[in-house]
Every structure is written in structure tokens, then in C-alpha cells.
Chains A and B, each alone.
Chain A
Amino acid sequence: MKNFFKILLAASLAYSVSAKEIKLLNVSYDPTRELYTEYNAAFAKYWQAKTGDTVTVSQSHGGSGKQAQAVINGLEADVVTLALAYDIDAISQQAKLLPADWQKRLPGNSTPYTSTIVFLVRKGNPKGIKDWDDVVKKGVSVVVPNPKTSGGARWAYLAAYAYALETNHHDDAAARDFIKRLYKNVPVLDSGARGSTVTFAQRGIGDVLLAWENEAHLALKEFGADNFEIITPPLSILAEPPVAVVDKNAQRHHTTEVAAEYLNYLYSDEGQEIAAKNFYRPRNAAIAARYAANFSQVKLVNIDEEFGGWQQAQKTHFADGGVFDQIFQP
């Protein structure tokens, strides 16, 4: 009988210490598919070497605002890697799935890489688009997603708004008029950045796509540099797409440790390298210098300084009844 219990105990211990199969869900915004496909494979390899466990990361992509709402409504993300801090704030505030100070948990405002908004135009730039003023000209057709649902669209909107403020001595009325003219040129609003890329590049609509820098580069790779070209305006916005562990979901799934490491590893040399290769501006200065040729020099305004942070920007511009609702007539 004693032997029997020894065998049972040994079997139980063997079971408990054997390699685990871990599943993570990364709920992200639209244009990060390629980045995280590559990064997930690298992280899985790293984690297996470190712990022996197999980790499989599932990805979910869509407009950042829509993705945040999905998590609030119960999509059980272990981590979120969204387009802007406001969307993760919403998860924290409305669903209480992570603490309010989540952004202090990782370096650089929990933003392992940055980006900005650029113009993607058709080869030869037939409309001669060089700066924001060209985008609002009559007869220029602009493709950009809906800022109500897309994080990239909100960055694009604010970049244009910042330009208008700067060129109009911070006259808010003039800036609103500028942004109104811009959206008058938008024939169709997609819900996310990837949808707008499809609209512009595949469906052949519009003269210019207001795009994430990485998405614009990806479009060149995907649809051919002989069809499109990237125009970087002299002024744009510093876009910080943050990342966070969704604490309560991760706790429930027993994935807190691996989820935290999944995000930490984005700051590693390998993580930064993958980000840079996918045309995100890495935080690591050495790696950023190595990939400097991929990124044009541009004056970047900061949302905190220009718009008082995301909470204020959201309230003023994108909340129901905000500036966007006032200026945009579908």
C-alpha cells in the first residue's frame, strides 16, 4: 500500500512539474498584425528556452477604440497593445481590469516603440501633396479611418489639428475650420487603419492616405513601391501606442508572469529590433540609430503639451458632441 501511494505521489509531482502549455491573448490595434506575428514567435522561443514552457499567443486586431470596448465587454485579453493610452484608460476605468496607474509600470509611459502619421500618396504624387495644407485643398480626396473607432485616426486628426494651430497662431476657430475642410475631403471612413489601407491601396480610392508610418511602409512592401510613395510632412505628432497586462484576466488565466514578461521583452534588444524592422520607431537609441534610414526627420508635437493629454483630447475632440461630431457631417 505504501508503494502505491509513493507511485501516486511521484505521478502527481511529475504531472505538476512537467512543461506547461500557456495561451495568451494579445488584443491589439489594426496595423500591428505583422509586428506581433514576428514578435510572438521570437517571444515563444525565448520563453521556452527560459522556462521550458510552450507559449502560444493569439492576436486580435481592429480599431483601437473598438478593441478596447471589446475587452470592456468581456474579451479576455491577457495583454492589450493598443494605439493610444486613452483606450487602455477606458479599460481600467470602465471594467476595472487593471489599475489606473498602469502606464507607470513599464518604461517610456509603457510605450516600447513610437510612431507618427505620414502621407501615403500615389506614385509620382500627382496632386503634389507635401504638407497638411495640400491635404485640405479642394479636389484632394483623403482616406483616413473614423476617429471614433480608430486610434490611428485620432492621432492623424490631432496631427492635422496641431499643424493648424501652429500655422494659425493657436487660433482654435481656424484650426476647427482647417479640420472641417480636411474631413470634407474624406469620401469614406473605415473603422480601422487596415481598412483604410485597403480602401486606398487596393480599392484605388483617394489621393492620399493619412497613415501610421509603419502602415505606410508596409503598404509599400505589400503593394509595391512603384505604385505608392511616402510623404512625411514637416510637422506631425508623436504617437505612443502603449502596452499593458490586463491584470484581472491574466490572474484568472494564471498568466500574469508570462504576460508581464511578454511586454517586458518588447524592450529587449530583440524586441526593439523586431519593432524597428516593422517600421516602428524603437525606444532603444542604438537600435534606432541603426534603423535611422527608415525614419524621416520630422518635427513631432506631443499630445500632453499640445492637447493636455489624452483624457482632455478625448473629451474635447472625440467624445459624443465633441469637435469631431460638430465638424463632420457624413
Chain B
Amino acid sequence: MTENLEQKMKIKTKLKQLTLATAIGTQFAMSALAAEAQATNSTSAEEIAILKREIQVLEQKVDSLEQRQNQSPQSGQIEALDQKVRVLEREREIDQDAAVTATKAQPKLLLGGNGFVMSSADSNFVAQLHGVLQFDSRTFFQDGGLNGNDGFLLRRARPIFTGTVFHDFDFNFTPDFGGSTVQIVDAYLNYRNRPELQLEAGKFKSPIGLEHLVADKDLLFNERSLATDLVPNRDLGVALHGDLFGGAASYALGVFNGGTDYNGTTVNTSFQDDKSFAGRVFFQPWKKSDANVLRGLGFGVGGSYMANHPQTNSSTGLTPGYTTDGQQKFFAYNSGVNANGAGWRFSPQAYYYYGPLGLLGEYVVSDQQVASATSSADLQNTAWEVTGSWVLTGEDASYNGVTPRHPFDPRNGQWGAWQLVARFAELNVDSKAFTDGFASSAKSADGANAWSVGLNWYLNKNLRADLSFSHTEFGGFTGKAAPGTVPAQSENVLFSRVQLAF
């Protein structure tokens, strides 16, 4: 093959030389003719015609040589070989394209700050593993000799399995190994017909309280405020929900078993005839606006209604008790008091985020008809809270947490993000609870207010360390300041937390 190519090259070179010689010869001839013509001042048409003929003859010779070259057996072989090489190269190209296409069709496996993600090539099937691990400490001061409240605790230890099947069906399964009991926190399916129309079924957060709906990993303090004491925790039910106008408004409306006011321990079954309706609308009208000042404003209202809460043997339908920031019970109904009749909640709520500043507040009314063996009443408990935050390092504050601009890396002088937080909250129990004998002021306070301050350190997107202090005062308690009585004195507690979330 190499010899053939060399031979072909030689022929081509000869042809070029011949053509070049012809052209040069012609040029010289023409120049000479012109010079002579100038000298004699006459033109010899015959000589020009002769030269033209000679050029034609030379051109014919070139054409003939070219034809011979094309018709030679070696030339045919070379072209055939050339085609084979081209075909092989093209096949290789096609194979490479096919390999790239095949790679695109392969499932994807991602590992990063958002957890482990496995996805089919078309993203119609997705499985994700996330997790939240919170290791806390609580240290009480001047607690009147209360025992057993200081210590370290695994507040939350949750592997979170989420994903999508057949493109439109999402799922979430979240057990919690933190605390003293293992429980299923979330277990639900969500059908996304479109962003505006989704249907969720299973066990998930009741759509009422603004602070309650903050993701556990994004809480500003170790514990939610007194206001969340009046909204239900996770409940079993079905809810329609969605985002409207590109997220400028959102809604959720569902039917649930009907949870009591906040109870840290949730159940997976609850058999009762009546159901509770819960819903929430929330607006962020300027979410996509150019007006920076208004973009972070959101407001809405949540609520629930249950026409006739039945008394059952298994449940009183009332809270097991309202707790402080330090998770100590300061109010409980007397034994034998049950929910008996209609109950409703109403919670106007709002937040505002502007640059590193954040403000979140809500008001909650929880109204419930109750009965004891001797009397009945309609009790209306209320609570409210305001939380402010300021990211000292300048990152944006948001309802969904803070992402440090410069993750912790002391070797390069980067320290993550730091945030100051402060909160005030208050809860008031209906006075009729005490005057009508549904609760005892000797055992419970009729209200509490608490202020808290804290410093949160976001090392990076996944790691966080918090330190906060909370002071709670109680009202209406008439019991003795005996050891073991929570509302007998103010609560002062120092919290710390290290958190891994991915």
C-alpha cells in the first residue's frame, strides 16, 4: 500500500512539473513574442497561433496522463483502500457516538451535599438517601433541684429515604432513631399532576403552623417555640396541595385523623369516626419581583376544624401537656378530662427575609370543647411567637436555612457562616380550664412566656453547631415550690447542638 501511494505521488509530481513547465514556457514565449513585436512594431498572428496549438497539445498530454493515472490498476486499488479506511474511521465514529448515547442512557449515581441520589437516565425513577443527625445537650440552671433534666441526647437520628417512581409519584419514608423510642416520622406518597395540583397521602406534617413546617434541619433553635405547642404534629391523612402562579401562592387542604395539640410522639393508627379538616394558604406575591425589599415577604393563614371529637378509651383527644423550650411539661389537663365536641385552630402567620435579616412570626388559637365527669366547657388557648435572625457573615437568611458562602476551611481563612438568633414566645391557657376544674393551678401554670437568644454556626452546607440560651417564666401556678415541680421557678436552660444534615 505504501509503494502504491509513493507511486501515485510520483505521478502527481510529474504532472505538476509538466504543467508548470508548460506554463513557464508559454510565458517566456509570449514575452519574447511581445518584445519582438514591439521591436519590429508588427504582430505575427501566425506565430501566436502556433504557440496556442502547442499549448493545446501540452494540455491534451496532461489530460491523457491524468486519465491514465485514474485508470491504472494501482489507482483503483488505492481508491478502494482509501474507501475502506474511511469506512473504518466512520464506523469508529458511529461506535463512539453510540457509546456516548449509551452512557447517557445509563442510570446516574450522585454523591454530594444533597445526599446520595440514584436516578434512571430519564429521571423518571429517582431514589435519594438523606439524613439528619442532631446531638444536643441541655443544661438547666437554678431549676429548684429538678433531677434528670440535664444531659446529652440524640435529639434526631433520621435516615430519610425519598424518591420518585414513574416520574410523577414521589415518596418519603423517614424513621427516627433519636430520642427514647423509634418511630416513623414521615411516610407518604405524593402524586404530582402538575405543580398546582398535587395529592399527598400518608403520614406527614399537618399544614397549619408556620414554625412547625420549618424543616427540622433548618430550625433556628434546638426546640420550636411555645406557639407550636398549639398546633398538631404529624398526622395521618390525605391532602391536596400545590403552588400557584409560579410559587406566588401555595395551598394545602386535607382531611386527617385529627391530632391533638403538639405531641412529640406520633401514632401510625387512629380509629375514630370523625375526621379533622386542616388547611393553609400562603402568599409570596413578590417572590419573583425585581423589588428586593418585598421579595422575601410571605404571609398566610392555617387552620383546622373537627366537628365532633369523640371520646375514646384510647385517647382523650387533648394534649398530653404543653412543654417549655427545655421540653419540660408546665401544663396538663386533669385526669378524666377529654375532648368532647368541636375543636378548631386558627393561625395567621408571616415571615420576612431581606438579605441577612429574617423575621418570622405567628399567632395560634386552639379552641376545643372539653368535658369532665361533672362539667363541660369550650376552652380557647392562645400562643404567639416572633423570631428574628441576622446572618453576621452576610449570607442570605431564608425559611430554608443558610448556605455559607465560604465553607469552613481554616487553612484558607474561611470560617463558614455565623448567625445570631432571638425569639420571644408566649402561651396562655384559657382561665376556664382552672376555674371549671379541668386543670389544677397547683400542678400546672396557666401560661408561660419565654425569650431565647442563640448563635448558630454553619460550617458548611451539611454541618452546623448551635449554642442558645432560653429563659421561661410561668404564671398562675399556686403549687408549692417543691423539688420536681417545673413551673415553681423560671426555667433557664443552655442548649448546644451539633448537626449533620445531607
Binding site for B on A (CB under 8 A): 8, 11-12, 15-16, 73-75, 141, 187-188, 190-191, 195, 199, 203-206, 252, 254
Contact = CB atoms under 8 A, between A and B. Distances in A.
Interface string B66-108: 0000000000000000010011011101100110000000000
Contact of A74 (B97, B122, B194): B122
Residue of B91, B98, B249 with highest tally of chain A CB at under 10 A = B91
B475 interface: no
Nearest to A187: B87
Interface in B236-270: 245, 248-249
Contacts of A203: 86, 89-90, 93
Nearest to A204: B86
Given A12-B245, A188-B90, A195-B97, 14 more contacts: A8-B285, A74-B122, A187-B83, A188-B91, A190-B94, A191-B97, A191-B98, A199-B90, A203-B90, A205-B87, A205-B90, A206-B83, A252-B193, A252-B194
Query: Which one of A8, A73, A195, A205 has the greatest number of beta carbons of chain B within 10 Å?
Result: A205
Contacts of A191: 94, 97-98
Nearest to A8: B285
A119 to B, nearest CB: 18
A188 B122 contact: no
- Please classify the interface of chain A as helix (H, G, I), strand (E, B), loop, or mixed, using the class held by over half of its residues: loop
Contacts, number: 45
A206 B80 CA distance: 10
22 contacts: A8-B285, A11-B285, A12-B248, A12-B285, A15-B245, A16-B245, A74-B123, A141-B83, A187-B83, A187-B87, A188-B87, A188-B90, A188-B94, A190-B94, A191-B97, A203-B86, A203-B89, A203-B93, A205-B83, A205-B90, A252-B193, A252-B194
B167 A74 contact: yes
Contacts of B193: 252
Interface residues of B, number: 21
A141 B87 CA distance: 11
B463 to A, nearest CB: 36
Given A15-B245, A188-B94, A195-B94, A205 B86 contact: yes
A75 B122 contact: yes
Contacts of A195: 94, 97
Nearest to B193: A252
A29 B93 CA distance: 20
A22 to B, nearest CB: 13
B283 interface: yes
A203 B89 CA distance: 9
A138 B86 CA distance: 19
B124 interface: yes
